Amino acid sequence: MQADYVIVGAGSAGCAMAYRLSEAGKSVLVIEHGGTDAGPLIQMPAALSYPMNMRTYDWGYLSAPEPGLGGRQLVCPRGKVVGGSSSINGMVYVRGHAGDYEHWAESGATGWNYADVLPYFKRMEHWHESGQGGDPEWRGKDGPLHVSRGPRDNPLHAAFVNAGRQAGYPVTQDYNGHQQEGFGPMDMTVYKGRRWSAANAYLKPALKRENCDLVRGLARRVVMENGRAVGVEIERGGQVQVVRANAEVILAASSINSPKLLMLSGIGPAEHLAEHGIDVVADRAGVGQNLQDHLEVYMQMACTQPITLYKYFNLLGKAMVGAKWLFAKKGLGASNQFESAGFIRSRAGIKYPDIQYHFLPIAVRYDGQAPAEGHGFQAHVGPMRSPSRGAVTLNSSDPKEAPHIFFNYMSTEQDWIDFRACLRLTREIFAQDAMKPYLKHEIQPGDALQSDDELDGFIRQHAESAYHPCGTCKMGAVDDPTAVVDPECRVIGVEGLRVADSSIFPRITNGNLNGPSIMTGEKASDHILGRRLPSSNAEPWFHPQWETQQR
d(CA 119, CA 112): 11
Binding site as annotated, residues for FAD = 81, 89-92
d(CA 442, CA 29): 52
d(CA 482, CA 485): 10
AA letter at 501: D
Strands 2-8 and 239-251: parallel
Cα four-point dihedral sign 308, 313, 317, 318: positive
According to DSSP H, which parts of 366-479 are helical?
A: 413-430, 452-462
Residue 542: exposure state from Cβ atoms within 10 A (0-12, 13-18, ≥19):
middle
- Of residues 33, 146, 358, 468, which has the active-site annotation? 468
d(CA 31, CA 219): 7
Annotated active-site residue 468? The verdict is yes
d(CA 310, CA 374): 6
Residue 102: exposure state from Cβ atoms within 10 A (0-12, 13-18, ≥19):
middle
- 411 alpha carbon, distance to own chain's centre: 22
Beta bridge partners of 475: 485
Segment (H or E) for 21:
helix 12-23
Count helices and strands in the chain by DSSP H and E runs = 13, 25
Strands 282-283 and 267-268: parallel
Binding site as annotated, residues = 81, 89-92
d(CA 384, CA 341): 14
**Active site residue ranges:** 468
